Structure 1
């Protein structure tokens, strides 16, 4: 791709959404839903925010939150309640208002991935959880993207390194609790059998062989309590009145004129 080529992110988002309707896309989405539901079980709170490429691809619907909000970058004629049309890097929500934020391939298909992550950090409350899903470039899927002549489906995504995303999260004040690669099928619609589930998860989920097609990172937003600075002792400029109990801190007074007092 040429450096001066203008990228049509809307077209790539539409193509990626359509790809999830294919058998391979269905299989990946099912794996992502299963993994997130298993990792987020027991997590409760007031509000959950899902930043997605489309409102037709819901995630983390098994969580127990009072309000579930979803964002989509494109307008549709029939948008259900709870869906907000906005860009991922400009969220119309107040700060510290969400208990869980799910970024579903947001960095892969956003024109401004770092700004999108900052916005997610802004709206997430302290000690809240962020779940980030992205394509893994260190995999057969990443190799397929490099040699692909087309930018349709997942191949139009950015494929950022998992380590890079972890570094970004650390810089934004997060503590990573889960980081694993998933989905060990070949990136073809007819790829045959997938890798054995338990065997593949042992190799890849534990970091020995991080070659899954996508990665999932869970992190908690840390709250660092500020220690109030003790006020520096300053000499008072009040001049005491004449008398035995007078206390004077005037710079011009002699030490003999300062009377002692008890707490």
Structure 2
């Protein structure tokens, strides 16, 4: 993936993703943010959280990437020097439960050993109302179709290299949304980009730059890459068992005003007493 990003289509894709991430994370507030994978993309550079990490599942560290010192409250983390990255398995993150406010996944699910476990780990470490931003290749695009055709040519004995990186498996946009909903996330927005044809030369991609606006208006869901932003929702609690019965009992024992039908009003009591006195005198 890192080698492909140095090619003309890789730089074209990286420019779009960098611009979209800068616009997305700049207004997300909190204390702790994490980027999982793809250290070539500075997904958190526009974010203003005081503690940010870039995690990688390989020992290759990004060059000249200043990282803040780890927060002491996160006891499972060791302090990191500037220019180093956090190395860990994506399906076993070294963070406590509900400790991160933002997690960015740039092509992480496609390259992960188990994308389901990775997404479950992200849900575990996110605080309630925490956010996750996912970036991935769109298989329902011209780039995805060319990649699929390249796989078929290789199965038939062809030697031409694939257009996109061969590692990983593309995950569709709707499939990612379904996974997020199953884990209790609420998808807030999604967007597509990179509508140029799958060409290898920089001049060819620049020749079809007009397709960016045309694709955004005419066929938005056919972009080569998508971005999904979702929020972790935690539903409200309900009283059950003994606590619920106690609450109902207190509500039933509340004082209420009840009219006493056996005692006549004061004006009738006066008339009754006068009638009894008059009757006694006549007797």
Q: Under a length normalisation based on structure 1, what TM-score does the superposition of the two structures give?
A: 0.75
Q: Using the alignment, how far apart are the partners of 2:224 and 2:62 within structure 1?
A: 32
Residue of structure 1 equivalent to 2:209 = 194
Inter-partner Cα distance in structure 2 for 1:181 and 1:42: 20
- Pairing partner for 1:217 from 221, 228, 237: 228
Shift of 1:78: 7.9
Instruction: Report if aligned partners of 1:141, 1:187 keep a CA contact under 8 Å in 2.
Output: yes
Other structure's SS at 1:180 match: strand
Displacement of 1:81 in angstroms is: 4.4
Mapped to 1, the partners of 2:95 and 2:186 lie a distance apart of 23
CA distance in 2, matches of 1:159, 1:210: 15
Aligned residues: 217
TM-aligned CA distance change 1:82 to 1:98, over 3 Å: farther
- The reply to whether residue 56 of structure 1 matches residue 71 of structure 2 is no
Q: What is aligned with 1:39?
A: 24
Q: Tell me how far apart the structure 1 counterparts of residues 14 and 44 of structure 2 sit (CA, whole Å).
A: 11
Give me the whole-angstrom Cα distance separating, in 2, the residues matched to 1:189 and 1:129: 35
The RMSD of aligned alpha carbons is: 2.4
2:14 maps to 29
| Distance (Å, rounded) in 1 between the aligned partners of 2:19 and 2:127 | 25
- Return the alpha-carbon distance in structure 1 between the equivalents of residues 25 and 47 of structure 2: 7
Taking the TM superposition and a 5 Å limit, the aligned residue runs for 1:214-253 are 214-231=225-242
In structure 1, runs of 5+ residues without a counterpart are 1-15, 235-260
Taking the aligned partners of 1:222 and 1:130, their CA distance within structure 2 comes to 12
Structure-2 separation of matches of 1:78 and 1:35: 21
Structure 2 unaligned blocks of 5 or more: 64-81, 155-160, 247-252, 256-283
Are 1:65 and 2:49 matched, yes or no?
yes
Pick the structure with greater CA Rg: 2
8 Å CA contact 1:50, 1:102 repeated in 2: yes
Q: What residue in structure 2 maps to residue 10 of structure 1? A: none
